[in-house]
Structures are given as C-alpha cells and as structure tokens.
C-alpha cells in the first residue's frame, strides 16, 4: 500500500513539471529566439534548417555535443546551421565557445528568455527547426546525426 501511494504521489508531483517543460510541439512554430548579442559578432548565416543548441559550460555533455554539432554542420551535404544558446555571461563563456564557432555555428549569450520560451530544463537539449520556424525534432543533442537531419528535412 505504501509503495502504491508513493508511486501515485511521485506521478502527481512530476506531472506538472513535465507539462511546464514542454513548450514545443513537433510540426508547430517554435518561439522566436531573441539574441542579446552574438559572440564575436558572428551572426548566423542562412540555411535550410537550424539546430538550436541549449548550452551550459558546467555540463561536460554540452561540450561533447558541440564538438559533434560543429563536425556535423561542417559537412557540405548537411544543410544546417547551429545556434548555441547560453545563459552565461559573455566574458566567461566566449573563450569556451570560440573554438566551436564557424561559418555555420554561432552563439548567443544572456539568453534567459530563450531557455524560458522553449521550456528548457536540462542540457544538452536542442531543437531542429525548418526555414518556416517549425520544430522538426527535439531532444538530447548527443542523439543528433546525419540520418536524423535527412529524415527530418525530406
């Protein structure tokens, strides 16, 4: 009886958190991402799809996902740009992110509103978005690969 009560109580407590964290619906428009500024003034270039990567330097998996995303975005057959979104201060985060920036990878800082608008509660987390600003895929950034992008964009 106690075990069943504990399970019900846990489900009741966790259910509202899950509902609040989900502000994105696949196939629907995503919130507009308002950048406070761009690291090294590197604005994102045009692309068929955009991958918005939510990042925090305290999480080693975030750095690993950036390495993978930079490689993936650099491939000529992948029509993708990456926008890294962080809440951290520019002076602290710029040296960490700079090695990953490229023609296809840009980073914005002080993006508290971006985390809130998208309902992001954990990192690494990302959203693949088409040219019409609709969500094609979302989840742990370590799961993104060429096949997933190809399937989502064709």
pLDDT in tens, 99-144: 999 999 999 987 778 888 888 988 999 999 998 999 999 999 999 8
pLDDT tens, 44-72?
888 889 999 999 999 999 999 999 999 99
What string of DSSP letters covers 96-147?
HHGGG--SSEEEE-S-HHHHHHHT--SSSEEEEEETTSBEEEEE-GGG--HH
Phi-psi sector, 30: left (phi>0), alpha (psi -120 to 50), beta: beta
pLDDT tens profile 73-85 = 888 777 789 999 9
- Residue 116: per-residue pLDDT: 87
- In this prediction, residue 22 carries a pLDDT of 56
Full set of structural domains in the chain with CATH:
25-153 (3.40.30.10)
Query: Model confidence over 7-29: pLDDT tens digits?
Result: 433 444 433 333 334 578 889 99
Provide the pLDDT for residue 63: 93
pLDDT at 48: 86
């Amino acid at each position: 009886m106690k075990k069943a009560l504990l399970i019900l109580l846990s489900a009741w407590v966790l259910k509202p958190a899950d509902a609040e964290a989900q502000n994105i619906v696949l196939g629907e428009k995503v919130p507009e991402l308002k950048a406070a500024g761009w690291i090294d003034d590197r604005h994102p270039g045009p692309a068929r799809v955009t991958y918005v990567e939510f990042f925090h330097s305290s999480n080693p998996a975030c750095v690993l996902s950036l390495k993978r995303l930079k490689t993936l975005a650099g491939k000529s057959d992948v029509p993708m740009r990456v926008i890294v979104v962080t809440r951290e201060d520019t002076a602290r985060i710029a040296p960490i992110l700079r090695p990953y920036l490229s023609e296809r990878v840009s980073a914005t800082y002080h993006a508290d509103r971006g985390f809130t608008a998208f309902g992001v509660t954990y990192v690494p987390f990302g959203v693949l978005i088409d040219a019409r600003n609709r969500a094609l895929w979302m989840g742990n950034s370590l799961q993104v690969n060429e096949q997933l992008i190809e399937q989502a964009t064709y």
